[in-house]
Structures are given as structure tokens and as C-alpha cells.
Amino acid sequence: MFGTSIDRHWTNWWAGLLGGIGCGLILSLMLVLLGATLPQPVMLMSGLLEVLALLLSGLGFAPWFLALAGLIVVLPAWFGPVPAPARWAGGYVAMVALVWLANALLLRFLNPAVDVPKLRPGKRGARIATYSRRQWYWLPLVLPVPGDWLQAFGWWPTLGIGATRFALVGLPLIVGAALTTRKQLPTRATDAWAWQYLGAGLVALIVAGLVYWRPAAGQMAIFALAALGCILGLANWAATRRGTGLISQTSTGVRIVAVQPDTPASKMGLVAGDIVLTCNHQAVHTENELYAALQTSPTYCRLKVMRLDGAIRLAETAVFNGVPHELGMITFAEEQA
């Protein structure tokens, strides 16, 4: 029934642009201070993997794939010869670690709850609701790329330190989350992702420190980072499939599919997935019964609600504006005869 979000709020774009750009500037400065450089083939491989991940974002998206870009050292020289990992592996691992940490912080603190519910037929006849979250952050990184391959453009500025020539090149990364859940709301899954990226980012930082200390371990660090990235991707996938039960139509009460913001329902703390058991002291099992119970008290609403985890809570509010049934709750519509 729903092909669009219940609330398309401007904070969704604000978080993606300002939050991402802010993190990108900070990370770029940190990487330059660390002396992190990326060879041209690794830079191009990172961009190629990002384009591929965005094209497949319907299956889920998260920046764990950046850990695979370094594997170009064992692939054919598609983008040209790759320098020895001892010269760039530390900076590359540090870049991936910082991007993962930035993704964790953005998902934790700049992740507006703008979810898209869709109703689908379940295996046992009852309809179920699935929820999609698409939150992107544009994370532009500026990194030194060694070599003089950009001098062919003439106007591209190149810098030199001793005998080493390099150019500052932008890597416009897209990070964030794209996922669909069936047994929980996306917020719980993205919270789990944030912790997973925090842990993986800290581990990757330790690996980067070891490579800076012992550059000869660069190739081993590249393989370790790729393995860590694959584990992180599997952990992301598992986090989207957790939950206590399907968010389905039920005869126990009236299931809430979505809650509109800035309404009496949102002020009562109701969320999608809640089941309204009683309304104004009357048991309700259908949308029509809920509507009739709301009519008994036009200016006040008292609900008994069961959460997805089975917890029971009471919610109440005064209704000052609008007709009594406009609380901002969206439920499974009744089947038409």
C-alpha cells in the first residue's frame, strides 16, 4: 500500500550532506597529516567498488566493501602497475578505518528515522509489513596520489616533497546504510551497524598502526583488512534479520504500521510495530473497533499497547485539534469484502 515514506523530512538531506561533508573534511585533514597516499589503481578500484555497491544497493548497502580495494595487488594490472604495499598499505588501512568510524558516528547520531513501510502477503495469509531505510552520507575525501600521471592535464596542480611527486585527488565516497527489515524497525538494525562499524574501525586502526611501525607487513595487512571487511558485511546482513517476530496483521489487537511525526500518536511514544490492545478501556481487534472506541472520548485518548518485544505499556494524551480519529496512527487497512 505504501510506496513512499510516511514523512520525507528535510533532516534526511541535511544529515547526508552536511554531516557527510563535515566528516569528509576532518578525515581528509587527518589522512594528509598521517602522510597517507593511495596509488592510482587502488583509488580507481575504490571508486569502481562504490559504483557497483550503489547499483546493488537494493540488496543492502554499507561501506564494508572498501576493505576489498587493496586486493588489487593480486589481480591483473587493470589500472596500471601497483607499487609495493609497504609504501601505501598503512595509509590505505587508516583510510578505511576512519571511514568506518565516521559511518558508525553518522549512523548513531545523524540518522533521521525516515522509513518506508510496504505491505506484503505473508506465507500464512496475514499481511506483513517490511521497512526500508535509505540514509546516505556524501563523504568527499581528498587524498595524495603519488606519481605524475595527472600532469598530462596541464592544469592539474601537482606537489613535490623531495623526489616524490603527488597530486591531491578527490574520492567522493558514499557511505551510510540501505536495508530492509521484517522483524524489527530499521533503527534497531542501524544501531547494531553503528556498533559493528565502531568495533571494526578500531581494529583496523590497530592494524594500520602496526603497518606504520613495520611497513614490511603491508601485504599481510591488506589481506587481514579484506577478511575483516567480509566479516563486517556478514554481521551487517545478520543484524537486519534479527527480531522477535514478523510485523504482521494480527487478531490480538490493531497493529500500527507507521506513526506520523508531530501528532498525538508520536507524542505518546507510539512506534511502528506496536499493537493497540485497548482504547479508552475498550478491547479492540479491528480498525473499525479502534475508530469506534476513539469516538467515545473526542478530547482524550488512553491506549494499552504491546511492543514488539511483548512489553505492555499505557499511553495517553489529550486531543485538542482535529477530529478524534486523527491521532497519526496508520494501521493495516481492513480487507474489502
Q: What is the pLDDT of residue 79?
A: 67
169 by Cβ neighbours in 10 Å (0-12 / 13-18 / 19+) ranks as middle
Beta-ladder partners of 172: 140
Q: Kindly give the parts of the chain with pLDDT less than 50.
A: 1-5, 152-153, 155, 324, 335-337
Per-residue model confidence (pLDDT) at position 4: 46
* pLDDT for residue 244: 76
Q: Which residues contact 216 (CB under 8 A, 6 or more apart)?
A: 86
Cα–Cα distance between 254 and 312 in angstroms, integer?
Answer: 14
Neighbour tally for 191: CB within 10 Å: 15
Q: Cβ–Cβ contacts within 10 Å for residue 324, how many? A: 18
pLDDT tens column, 63-76:
999 999 999 988 87
pLDDT of residue 225: 97
Cα distance between residue 160 and residue 57, in whole Å: 39
Domain ranges in the chain are 11-240, 254-331
So what's the pLDDT on residue 158? 57
**8 Å CB contact between 189 and 242:** yes
Closest CA to 201 of 86, 70, 105, 135: 105
| pTM: predicted TM-score of the whole model, two decimal places | 0.85
Q: Distance between CA 146 and CA 123 in Å, rounded?
A: 56
Identify the pLDDT of residue 299: 78
Please name the residue that has the C-alpha cell 567498488.
49
CATH assignment of 254-331, among 3.20.20.70, 3.10.105.10, 2.30.42.10, 3.40.50.1370: 2.30.42.10
Phi first, then psi: give them for residue 142, nearest 5 degrees. Answer: -115, 115
